[in-house]
Structure 1
């Protein structure tokens, strides 16, 4: 299945030189959205997964349906200040500054196997921060899953010894 046909590419967004991969066109097609989740499920079905974690916001639209399909729980990873209970947080670098991601302090139990799912792997900043959060709580990251991987940005390098599963790769 060539999911690229269902991903809209928007040149020069959000700034000149960036080729934005818009998944809303894939999400808008119920049959293709389901096929994408089903295919991700097949890619990771050999793993022992207790939970799926997904960073906001598009990690929710990939991770939650994947968790449902696998019959496991889902853990949201949010921006700082968005979760109502006690949290742990990790700061990470953005292209033009810094940001913080947070998880509830009781979201992952020590020894649980966690798959982290998101829409896109680019430089790896968000996903490596998500890995750090899961590990701080004693979770074992068994892999990462993405709809899209931008191979030329080498995000995989920030995930040594972690399996990376992607439906679509852009060079």
Structure 2
């Protein structure tokens, strides 16, 4: 008798979808279920950094807030430093700021002005790529400090919102572990 092995789970299989959150009509892609599962989280971190194996990466930049969880784990695996890009007013030292547009208005992110050195190679990490506004702001901050972005790694891409196209038009290498259609 032949016993069929269960199909290998993918990162996408660990992500929970919550309808109508935070607003009606939105399908929220909840990565906390991925983070909570040890196999899923390990798979996620390994796959995020795989395309960059063997490349010089001096720092990993994580975008607020879930990018901190992922970026810290990726930086640990790469044995490199981690730099947070935070919402305005959250960092205690001298910062530089970058505004970006939201669906309704504008937001600002900041990084410490001494967090990166000119010429450093930086990998940006976040959980989700939607419109690309936060990632674009992070890229602008990194470049203003004289560092260069070698890649942008995300768990989820929402291609219908155009973020990947925006970042690729900026010359960025974009890596996403999975995609979900729609909002």
TM bin (shorter chain): over 0.9
C-alpha displacement at 1:48, in angstroms?
Answer: 2.1
List aligned pairs for 1:62-101, cutoff 5 A. Answer: 62-101=70-109
Large movers: runs of 4+ above 3 Å:
none
Distance 2:143 2:105 in 1: 24
| Corresponding residue number in structure 1 for 2:56 | 48
Question: Are 1:167 and 2:177 an aligned pair?
Answer: yes
Question: Are 1:130 and 2:126 an aligned pair?
Answer: no
Distance 1:55 1:102 in 2: 10
C-alpha displacement at 1:34, in angstroms?
Answer: 1.0
Tell me, what secondary structure is at the counterpart of 1:17? Answer: coil
C-alpha displacement at 1:155, in angstroms?
Answer: 0.4
Structure 1: runs of 5+ lacking an equivalent: none
- TM-score where L is the length of structure 1: 0.96
- Considering only CA atoms, is the larger Rg found in Structure 1 or Structure 2? 2
C-alpha displacement at 1:157, in angstroms?
Answer: 2.1
Q: CA RMSD in A?
A: 1.0
Distance 1:134 1:158 in 2: 17
Question: Are 1:13 and 2:21 an aligned pair?
Answer: yes
| Corresponding residue number in structure 2 for 1:105 | 113
C-alpha displacement at 1:46, in angstroms?
Answer: 4.2
- TM-score where L is the length of structure 2: 0.90
Structure 1 stretch 154-163 or stretch 115-124: which is displaced more? 154-163
1:117·1:145 contact (CA, 8 Å) conserved in 2?
yes
Question: Are 1:155 and 2:163 an aligned pair?
Answer: yes
How many residues matched? 171
Structure 2: runs of 5+ lacking an equivalent: 1-8
